[in-house]
Structure 1
Amino acid sequence: MGDVLAGNHSAWEFEANSVLIRFERGIRTPKLFQALGERRIPYEALSTVELLPGGKRGTVVLHVVPREGADPLLDAADGQLKPGSDPYRLVLPADRETLAEYYADQLREELGPESGKPADRHLVEPPKPPLSFKAYDGKATFDGETVAFRWFSTGASSAKWKAGDQSFGVREIDGIEWRSPEVFDGHLRLHLPGNEAAAQPDQDPASVVFGLGYGPVYESLPFAAAVLAAAAAAGGPVTHGLRPTTGPARGDPADIAERIRHLGELHEAGLLTDEEFTAKKTELLALL
């Protein structure tokens, strides 16, 4: 198509076989978009195209939906991204609705016979390593081949300290789960063979837990997507999403006290309601 459609926070450049999404760098641009920079989306990766009313009055949204399994970023996110952080939404003034409808029609013409089927491989490039971020209990790094967790003395549980710092080659990883730091109990966990019923994330040496100011979406989600894509490329099918954990076990009193202290920080920051704080504190005390 060879044209550019600019909207809030990004501009979409329509090319022969793909759409190149360039994200703005500005104080109002979501930090996830700034971290991604730009993304090239092949038309074969798309499932549907739709034009929607905008969340704010006087706007419309050109929204494309990738095929299941085509984009490791969305696989890792597992439906947890808020609309404002969805990189496949282009928000436009309502007076450009006719132009947006034109491009939506052009994109629909590019959809192939496989558009309604899950992709058998990732069609969108993942974020490039090396990548790293600080979680509440440790630092996570990924160099493209190995994921490493280095524990912090102020946050890691005794179980993680006993296990020591960890490293995992991508061929060892058969799944990954990312629970958004914007909800309680956010974490990133690696699934390993024989570890289907793992302990809680704060006790599992194959995971790091988020918290107030730690593991933000714009750092931890691209990290998870890059690991997911590398593991899939190295060893075949890799799962994503949350798995059930084992029931509660008796905890170390020092660990429990530290977790309650952290709960208090979340509560004081307004990230937990009084009811949520009381319920989780009661749950932790029951582990003693």
Structure 2
Amino acid sequence: MSRASERFALALHGGAGAKPGEDYASVEAHLAELANAGEAMLRDGRTSLDVVEHMVCEMEVSGLYVAGKGSAPNTSGDVELDASIMDGASRDAGAVAAIRDVVSPVAVARGVMERSSSVMLAGAGANAFAANEGFETINDAADYYILPVGVSADDIAVTDMVHGTVGAVALDIDGNLAAATSTGGVLGKPAGRVGDTPIIGVGTWANQDIAISCTGTGEHFIRAGGALTAANRFKLAGDTLEQALWAMLDDVESLGGDGGAIAVSSSGEIAMLYNSDGMKRAAVSDDMATMTAVFEPCR
């Protein structure tokens, strides 16, 4: 089978809520391991959609991040999860919001994309879909969820937008882009709170030009237009990839929020930017060896 090129690119984030002084060595090692696995998948001809789903699923089940197993209960004592995924070639997308007790919210989001007529399912409807479609569930929530690296019980008790999210963006060797994002939401959130992560065009976006996954204070990303704002600046305003992301992140900051975003373009360019204290991140491409970072300046 002929390929568009041998060019590929992959970027991952484990959230822009990194706290100075914390040791994220285990997180960086995990991100490097995932990036290497993603590189192998892309070199083997796997689709960008398969790769971003796999990357995010592995972060969800690791318990290292505020997503999946590392998610915390809301103020009502329930763990509610959000996730989304988007195929840039077709612009098919799927999302779940406030879903409970599924092992991989991003897998359910892909199921919504491929096996329903909806783009987003929320709450009881999302859980009913997951059950009907046979997605793996959690038998004992009290024994399953754990505190991720860098999060304490004190963080869960506060309501000052302490956040964490995971995401992946990829360009495959057929020239197709995809993005996926998953989160347990801000810590100490009220029941039913939904941020930017499951909103296509805000927390996640992919088309034929760019793939983006965002992380941060979701309320502010929603108000700033999020991923699609950056994508339109890149496509229509002639911004570079970094200029487009910074314009959106600067707007988030002007509204009182913080966070970060990762992006890959159709040419294989990668950008990983943040205006918070740090962002757990990794990247690899056909012409760049795997790299990881958390606090190194990006501007």
TM-score by length of 2: 0.23
Larger radius of gyration: 1
State the structure with bigger RCO (CA 8 A, min sep 6), 1 or 2.
2
TM-score by length of 1: 0.23
